[in-house]
Structure 1
Amino acid sequence: MTKTSQFVPKKILLNAFDMNCVGHINHGLWTHPRDESHRFNELSYWTDLAQTLEQGLFDGLFIADITGVYDVYQNNIDLTLKESIQLPSHDPSTLVSAMAAVTQNLGFGITVNLSYESPYQFSRRFASMDHLTNGRIGWNIVTGYLDSAQRLIGEKGLKDHDLRYEQAEEFLQLCYKFWEGSWENDAVLKDKQNRIFTDPAKVHQVNHQGQFYQSQGVFQVSPSIQRTPVLFQAGASPRGMAFATRHAEGMFIGGDQPEKIKKQVDQIRQQAINQGRNPEDIKIFVGITVVTAETDELAQQKLDEYQAYASPEAGLAHFSSSVGIDLSRFADDEPIPYQQTNSIASVNNKFKEQRISKNDLKAQHVLGGRYPLIVGSGATVAEKLIQLIDETGIDGFNLTRTVAPESHHDFIRLVIPELQQRGRYKTEYEPGSLRHKLFNQGDQLADSHPAQQFRCPSSASTSNSNLKQKQSA
């Protein structure tokens, strides 16, 4: 821990956690009379949300995504369709330009599964979005965990867990070459008098011949403000943790017990040091659900009301696909045995470490989701969030929705002012890109980040290199 973090209380970072669908984390609440998540396919639903979050000074809107469907529970998608468990779901990147147009500071963290993407087309899309948002784009890097996704793209089954991370390493390297290595910072001149929009000497060809990808040519997008989007990841298995602490600037972790969360945080910070990075160059977020009202009693009443509409069984169906095990096969009080799967290893390992039954899981899924649930007045919630930050060393939270949009309105109206009064939440945005807002160290990746090795050479060295290539040809 740094001296600064010992003496200056952390300002809490906050993302709204959502998905371009009806049922995201807290399942069944789409049936609540006041819930509007069925409007997810309307652009005004998202532009209104973006403006609401910016009024609450949220750092970002983090949009999850999956490729495939949840078909493990009962070996079909009947419940998935009935309860709209992330089905239907739409492409999250299509929302960004509209939301950016009605906001000035809100960041956008977009989940994209690299296993089903072309590195070039993906890099081009995200660099374009970073231009259009004025540097407010982040990428949540995922490798996939659903067999249904593999079948959709014409493959037989999910690749081995660790092999997916090997592919991810190369995908990232090629993206870095596009974002960091093809164009120099001052390549674009916009010189009308001399008819030079871009200096040819400062644009370089990418040559990549790897195990999974090959590419040759010039990146089509000039440098955006951040060049590389802010990188998020949630790897928690040994292989995933190694990948995340090497590349990520933001990490998402689970956990409901402070001591377990702190253990994860300490491991992440130490692994970052082992990777040659500053441990504070990774911001760590925990997913939470909050139900708040004017008093603790009213908050509990609101929770009771929400529970009448929630679907714990839909939560089980979601969980089944996360671990690759059909939980419907087990009795409610039967311990669920550990089974080796290629799904989310860190979640699946809980069956190895603990005695867990369906009843246990249903108790965790009282609102249809498995994130820690915090209930109380604005003051009570604020104190609990501050305590969790101070006890664990995390940097912030991913706040899920319950009843949309009222749960975000409640949080902004009741919790944010309490955090601000305690000096633990900003009262205005810092200027600059999403990366600068999060780290206050400029718009582009730190020099200690592994992307540094793929950055452009100087113009002089490039000219010499090009000359040598021409001579050898």
Structure 2
Amino acid sequence: MSAPLRFSAFVMNTTSHILHGAWRLPEAQQTRFNSLDHWVELAKTLERGKFDYIFFADVVGLYDDYQGSWRKFVESGLQIPSNDPTVLASALAYNTEHLGIVLTNSILQSHPFDFARKISTLDHASNGRIGWNIVTSLSGNAWRNFGFDEITAHDERYRWADEYVDVVYKLWEGSWDDGALIQDKASGLHGDFDKVHKINHDGKRYRVEGPHLVAPSPQRTPVLFQAGSSAAGRRFAARNAEGQFIVSPNPAAAKALIDDTRRLVAENGRAPEDLQFFQGLSFVIGSTEEEAKRKAAELDEVLDPNTIIAHAAGGLGHDLGHYDLDTPIGDIETEGTRSTLAWLHEAVPDREPTVRDLARLRSHHGRIVGTPEQIADRLAVWRDAGIDGVNVTNATIPGSFTEFIDHVLPVLRDRGLARTEYAEGTARRKATGRDLLPDSHPAATYRGAFTDS
């Protein structure tokens, strides 16, 4: 029998995240994103629903221009203002007991020594409930914000990411041996010097002496997530990730992607099941099919297709604001996100997709409309295709999540598609039955590696 699905709440510390324009609905409260109470209330709601994770997306720059300007982003609130989600993590951890907290952080925005220290501190504070979504930043503005003239080439960004994770793995897994922190009041010995090591990393981009300034946290390394579906992104995920967020257009495409990526996982010496897949889906729920369709039509009325195009085009490196909606996208190779192009061709396999297709598919992509029972039927199909969990995209906060928790999850539990209770322990233990990364993970090679340094 297949395992129950896991559930992640896909959010961002901003007003307009994915379904642009939905913030205008009367019940939408995502304009309260500056309020800590807003996020604490949501975290408590998700824990009531036994969600596995609250997953914060993040950016450190604007997307590429739309109609020759960044005016559209400000006027529609397209991920600006956008606040730092890591600042919220300790408060969310303090107000919950089981909910995993996944933070997006780019290799661009934080030096690995500083980032490793911050994450270890949060993992201690949360009793081992922190995850890291590893991204490489596809926005040219983000790279200019950090002093670069232009975005680094796509595959080179992943080579950069390889070194970045190498540094943090050395700090998290190799700098402190088990039992190094003693804190013996009788003898006055606080730590065992022979069990704490400098890492002396000397690479192409980073020189880090160490040691890690934080003693090992409950998980040592946070639960590792990745979201890219390009060839380089999937290779990176196969080597490093424990969870991958995917946006396949249908269950068949998801199965093909999952099967091939798990093949890559095995080629990297890891067990195929060591990588779990979370499909992005949104839900419009009604007590009847007619009510659900009416609510979907009401949602479509407030969605802003131009903002949706501006968001999607920002990752392609093309300003689509000057094009007619029926203009073919073409076979575009950019230094932005190649996975968006692959997804678009998967979703429109019989012809060349257009700008209009991009707007329509982004606003309706992964949307399931129906009664709780109909939604459960569809989720069973997705599970049979091989997904391990669902990354629940919201139209409104908290409404999208409270409706799902109150109406859909009870049906899923009755069918064995969702868990009834949390397992105990860290986020990784809940997901895999262990607190630490397995020996087959590349980070594990640094355990005991610096004893003689």
Answer whether TM exceeds 0.5 for this pair: yes
- 2:355 aligns with one of 358, 362, 368: 358
Q: 1:350 to 1:45 in 2, by over 3 A?
A: closer
Q: Tell me, what secondary structure is at the counterpart of 2:149? A: coil
* TM-aligned CA distance change 1:59 to 1:351, over 3 Å: closer
Matched, 1:449 2:449: no
CA-CA distance at 1:153 after TM superposition: 1.6
Query: Cα gap change, 1:370/1:456 in structure 2, threshold over 3 Å: closer, same or farther?
Result: farther
* Equivalence map 1:56-455=2 (5 Å): 56-349=49-342, 355-365=352-362, 369=363, 371-390=365-384, 392-440=385-433, 442-455=434-447
Contact 2:171 2:210 in 1 (8 A): no
Question: More deviation in 220-229 or 342-351?
Answer: 342-351
Given that residues 108 and 146 in structure 2 are in contact (C-alpha distance below 8 angstroms), is that contact kept between their aligned partners in structure 1?
no
Letter of the structure 2 residue corresponding to residue 359 of structure 1: R
Identity of aligned residues (%): 39
Aligned partner letter, 2:336: S
Q: What count of residue pairs does the alignment treat as equivalent?
A: 449
Deviations 1:216-264 (A, max 9, x none): 1211000000000000012211111111100000011121222111100
1:29 corresponds in structure 2 to 22
1:42 deviates by 0.2
Q: Deviations over 1:313-363 (max 9, x none)?
A: 111000011111111222121212223210001213456775111222232
Q: Distance in 2 between matches of 1:195 and 1:344?
A: 54
- The range that moved more, 54-63 or 380-389, is 380-389
Deviation per CA, 1:67-116: give whole Å up to 9, x if none.
10123221211111111111110101011111111110000110001123
CA distance in 1, matches of 2:364, 2:230: 19
SS of the residue 1:53 aligns to: helix
Q: Distance in 2 between matches of 1:41 and 1:371?
A: 28
**What letter is aligned with 1:156?**
D
Could you tell me whether the CA contact under 8 Å between 2:64 and 2:315 is conserved in 1? no
In structure 2, relative to structure 1, the CA distance for the partners of 1:258 and 1:52 (3 Å cut) is same
Q: Deviations over 1:404-460 (max 9, x none)?
A: 2111110001100000000121111000100011112x1000111011111125xxx
What does the per-residue CA deviation read over 1:44-70, in whole Å, with 9 as the maximum and x for residues that have no partner? 000000000000000000000011012
For the aligned residue pairs, the C-alpha RMSD in angstroms reads 1.4
Partner Cα separation in structure 1 for residue 120 and residue 364 of structure 2: 34
Contact 1:293 1:410 in 2 (8 A): no
Which residues of structure 1 form unaligned runs of 5+? 1-7, 467-473
Secondary structure of 2:108's counterpart equals helix
Matching residue's letter, 2:64: D
Q: TM-score, normalised by structure 2?
A: 0.97
Partners of 2:383 and 2:342 in 1: how far apart?
26
Tell me the SS of whatever aligns to 1:62: strand
Give 1 or 2 for the bigger CA radius of gyration: 1
